Structure 1
Amino acid sequence: MATRLVSRRFPWTAQHTQLFAKPTYGQHRTLSTRVRSKPTANKPFLRKVAGVGSAFAFTLWWMSRSAEAESPPSQSKKQFPSTTPLNTFAPPQHDISAANIEAAQAELVAIVGADVISTVPGELKAHASTEWSPSPTETTASFIVYPSSTEQVSEIMKVCHARNIPVTPFSGGTSLDGALAATRGGICIDFSQMNKIVELRKNDLDVTLQPAVGWEELNTVLEKDGLFLPVDPGPGAEIGSMIATGCSGTNAYRYRPMKNRVISATIVLADGTIATLKLTALPKNQEVAVVAFPTVRTAIEAVTEMIQSGLQTEALELLDETAMQASNQSGYLEKEYKEVPTLFIKFAGATEDAVHRQISAVEKVVQRYKSILFEASSDPDSMDSLWGARKTVLWNLIAQKRNDTDKFLSCDVAVPISQLARIIEETNDRIKASGLLGSCLGHVGDDNFHTTVSCSESEKEKAEEIILWCRRRGIELDGTVTGEHGFGLAPRDLVTEELGANATDMMRMIKLSLDPKCLLACDKIVRIEEGEEH
């Protein structure tokens, strides 16, 4: 299958996007966006620069040009509105009948082989929902296929397009907002066999790799060359899902989120099969500090002064009392810390003296906000222990559930830093008043925090009310309902509240233009059919 190479520059079009390429008369094209800049005497040759989001702008342009050449005359002149309200959107006409699914499976066996197709019920359920994702479990894919190349993905999508079968991609399975849900049944494409690092260019500080490479595994490989991918979401996340959600992580304050790291992507419809990412030199002379405060407000006020005064740190993370309790009980920490609001701060610099000056400056700031502990360490084991507790806090909170059958809900609101203390305090007050087990923590240097709530089935409505209130409060405070988890299913109905009806109607039109049969990641980001069942 040919790959189109494009040498046009497009702006990054959106923070949270999923990508779709238009099938043309039953054929699916593999799109690869590239931008080439002129090399100069003082500037290295930048071989590929384009964001995944630019596929939207390119595809719309390309479709308008190619339609004249490939469409019948009566279609080439057809005009489309720029927005599509939901009540004018025709429901997708999928065919997930047993006969059609069986026929598709037989075709795919001929393409990829029977040994990489699964119909095991437990596997189907695990690919549609997890303990930490609110995805509904009533509907699963009919089977899972495990491609090993871009070409196989393209052939799979040809079959699905011809047979009107919806598709749900799976890469890592760490989604917290329902991206795994197979809302329309169909098939699941699991990218786990596409886990190769294709090419590392150390001098260019970039790497080309397949979507199932995990960020942790990648950084283990890069470490020996003094490089790393700074984006560090939850353990287990893989490159494909990281691009799809535009995730960030603890390093986002210093190094920015995933969208800033994508140079190019080879795309088959919604599914990126190869990506090229920017890398960064490993920071030197690292130290980690733990700073405890009497209240969340004093902790956030200290962070605000650090940022406004220009103090540069690698990461600024907050754990509240409940999160600290979970960390103390996790076994990651070398000693027990006070269960009070606590900042985890990472430092690095060209020299040890430079780092010590940063630490000294931060210590002076936090003292003004009544810090009750300031402890810094450059010992590798101690740093691994402290940052390991922060990186695994989600799993540590899940382990705090009162019963194994309890549900775990979360959201990732982001607000201006001036409103951060206010919304965290208000959210924690609501959690405490509810009697549920919950926590607020997150990437406060990046204005992004996570609310988590555990509940029994009978308490689920109460927990959902807290999460919904938190998201709406974020909008009221000039923030966003999702800072890094992506819209998925859970927050999609709030997109209109945040951005307005015209914006979501335009998103729906883009979706229709690039995925006219609505086969890919159905019902995610914006609704494509009225009614609560989807």
Structure 2
Amino acid sequence: MPLPPSFPTFRARHRSAKRSTWTRDAIFLLAGGAAASVGYVFGVNDAGSHSSELLERKPKAPTYATKAQLEQAIQIVRNSLGDDAISTDDEDLRAHGYSEWSSINIDQLPVAVVYPKSTEEVSQIVKIASRFKIPMIPYSGGSSLEANFAAPYGGFSIDFAFMDQIIALHDEDMDVVVQPSIQWMELNEKIAAKGLWFPVDPGPSAKIGGMIGTSCSGTNAFRWGTMRDWVLNLTVVLPDGRIIKTRQRPRKSSAGYNLNHLFVGAEGTLGIITEATLKLAVIPQETKVGVVTFPTIRHAAAAAMQIIRSGIPVAAMEIMDDVQMSVINRAGGTNRTWKEVPTIFFKFSGTKAGVQDNIKLTTGIAKANQAADFIYARNDQEAHDLWKARKEALWSMISLRREGDEVWSTDVAVPISRLPDIVEISKKEIDDLGLFASVLGHIGDGNFHTSILYNRQNPEEREKVEHAVHNMVDRAIEMEGTCTGEHGIGLGKKESLIDELGLDTIGVMQKIKRALDPHWLMNPGKIFDAVNEERAKSQSMATAASTLARPKSK
């Protein structure tokens, strides 16, 4: 089949990766019975009666298509949309189920990759998949970090490579209607002539569909907010193939439930987004970039917290540790050799007078926290180069991998007052690993990341890295923070989400999921499992039984 427009670059990215042993036939065989392996086993009460132990539960897992049904569905898609609309090529399947920068990968791949060209075609695909109980996984940029587009139950990967256009630009209203596979950087290039921009800026390769799915943010979130703040309405194909629009185009509305917030961040588990109307902002009159070095990571984090608390309207504030500054030097691209010490990258935007005033106030707070060097970009090109170094930090680190290395990149977010504590402790823990590891992130909104290079095949290395990452996540939750600020849950953080929110809250989410997707077809296995609902019931019943069994106080 002819390749979609965005595919050659993506495929080239994976040529150097380890080849999968999966073939189309192996994937079909596993996918047919994949759902049967899902389940938790809880404590069993031999007497079968209520007690303080968890009651026996054997949750019924979702049932998906057989091999024969999968083959029949693939043929129906071909007959309906053409041979070019679906691929079962081994290399295509691998590219849509494996990611060299994800913190987690699994062996299972999708059974087929489908390439719709319109909302109506997506609806057709969904109706076919729904009829045969085939899992569906939306795919746009493929740059997510928590296996958000992995296919644990096989199924159809729905790739929006042919849906990458601006449908309508309403420059007077400052909004734009787009398809899911347009890159945010490309969008900004196309609307710049109108004096407008879309402020949400995650990794350079991210596309709007995935950005909505994970409710991502990026370096501008401190000043401009996250993806959730910039979505006006969505066109969504529901699990039964119905097409809905969440609301109209005004910037405010109190008409009914906020369905935007239901689908943004849902990672494609409730429906497939095929169009989005996004708010736009006016390009700031002036933007300046500055780089400030500090003696320790704690001094840098403390300065950031004080700047936030002072109310200075900094546009962005990004922290990078000594290791990450070394990565920048080794990767090149800024025409400068940086001191390899904890560093904060600042962006100031607004009017010329306002920017100068904000720089002056920020400099004063930084000096009070023992800041050393203050370097400000002399022109727009230098500012672009400086910020590009920050934006491509993960990709720069990946380029320095040893043979057999993989990268574990994860994030947490905490209340800003706890930021210096968690950054300092986490930095020490990853330094003690003896591996190439760094701390960086969006320190302005309490969100920071760690990136660690390690050999997944080395059990000792893997165990050390897992321990350090889980410690960081647990610590963030203990500080009333979150296990993920912007990467989403995917496959990688489902247990942490339970720790963060509790089973009752997860149970509410699962009820919403079941109401919209009773057969568990939309990106199954992500955020939470179908069986957790039973786990929540079991735990609640055990708690109630335990309470009844306690002796009454006199």
Find the counterpart in structure 1 of residue 300 from structure 2.
Answer: 299
Q: How many residues align?
A: 444
Q: CA deviation at 1:378?
A: 4.4
Does 1:92 find its partner at 2:50?
Answer: no
Q: Identity over aligned residues, as a percent?
A: 40
Aligned with 1:158 (options 127, 134, 144)? 127
TM-score normalised by L of structure 1: 0.81
Find the counterpart in structure 1 of residue 310 from structure 2.
Answer: 309
Aligned with 1:112 (options 81, 89, 92)? 81
Deviations 1:208-238 (A, max 9, x none): 0100011010000011111110000001111
SS in 1 for 2:194: coil
Find the counterpart in structure 1 of residue 148 from structure 2.
Answer: 179
Q: CA deviation at 1:87?
A: 4.8
Contact 1:489 1:524 in 2 (8 A): yes
Find the counterpart in structure 2 of residue 491 from structure 1.
Answer: 493
Mark the CA change 1:282 to 1:378 in structure 2 (over 3 Å): closer, same or farther: farther
Contact 2:288 2:376 in 1 (8 A): yes
Distance 2:285 2:344 in 1: 21
Q: Which residue identity is paired with 1:178?
A: A
Q: Which residue identity is paired with 2:314?
A: T
Distance 2:152 2:169 in 1: 37
Find the counterpart in structure 1 of residue 442 from structure 2.
Answer: 443
Find the counterpart in structure 2 of residue 29 from structure 1.
Answer: none
Find the counterpart in structure 1 of residue 187 from structure 2.
Answer: 218
Runs of at least 4 residues of structure 1 off by over 6 A?
none
Find the counterpart in structure 1 of residue 422 from structure 2.
Answer: 423
SS in 1 for 2:346: strand
Find the counterpart in structure 2 of residue 379 from structure 1.
Answer: 379
Distance 1:514 1:89 in 2: 20
Aligned runs of 1:23-34 on 2, under 5 Å?
none
Q: Which residue identity is paired with 1:430?
A: E
Q: Which residue identity is paired with 1:153?
A: V
Mark the CA change 1:87 to 1:268 in structure 2 (over 3 Å): closer, same or farther: farther
Deviations 1:397-446 (A, max 9, x none): 11222x23212112110001111121111112111222122111100001
Q: Which residue identity is paired with 1:320?
A: D
Aligned runs of 1:511-522 on 2, under 5 Å?
511-522=513-524
SS in 2 for 1:348: strand
Find the counterpart in structure 2 of residue 349 from structure 1.
Answer: 350
Distance 1:251 1:380 in 2: 17
TM-score normalised by L of structure 2: 0.78
SS in 2 for 1:426: helix
SS in 1 for 2:354: helix
Does 1:289 find its partner at 2:290?
Answer: yes
Q: CA deviation at 1:461?
A: 2.2
Q: CA deviation at 1:467?
A: 1.2
Deviations 1:20-52 (A, max 9, x none): xxxxxxxxxxxxxxxxxxxxxxxxxxxxxxxxx
Distance 2:163 2:346 in 1: 35
Contact 1:135 1:180 in 2 (8 A): no
Contact 2:99 2:147 in 1 (8 A): no
Range with greater deviation from structure 2 (97-106 or 469-478): 97-106
Q: Which residue identity is paired with 1:146?
A: Y
Distance 1:487 1:229 in 2: 25
Deviations 1:137-166 (A, max 9, x none): 310011101000000000001111110111
Find the counterpart in structure 2 of residue 21 from structure 1.
Answer: none
Does 1:504 find its partner at 2:506?
Answer: yes
SS in 2 for 1:198: strand
Distance 2:298 2:417 in 1: 11
Find the counterpart in structure 2 of residue 56 from structure 1.
Answer: none
Deviations 1:488-528 (A, max 9, x none): 11011111111111001111111111100001111101111
Q: CA deviation at 1:243?
A: 0.6
Contact 1:87 1:530 in 2 (8 A): no
Aligned runs of 1:134-145 on 2, under 5 Å?
134-145=103-114
Contact 1:128 1:135 in 2 (8 A): no
Q: Which residue identity is paired with 2:327?
A: A
Contact 2:99 2:105 in 1 (8 A): no
Contact 1:86 1:527 in 2 (8 A): no
Structure 2: tracts of 5 or more residues without a match: 1-54, 239-270, 534-554
Aligned with 1:244 (options 189, 207, 213)? 213
Distance 2:470 2:409 in 1: 10
Q: CA deviation at 1:377?
A: 2.0
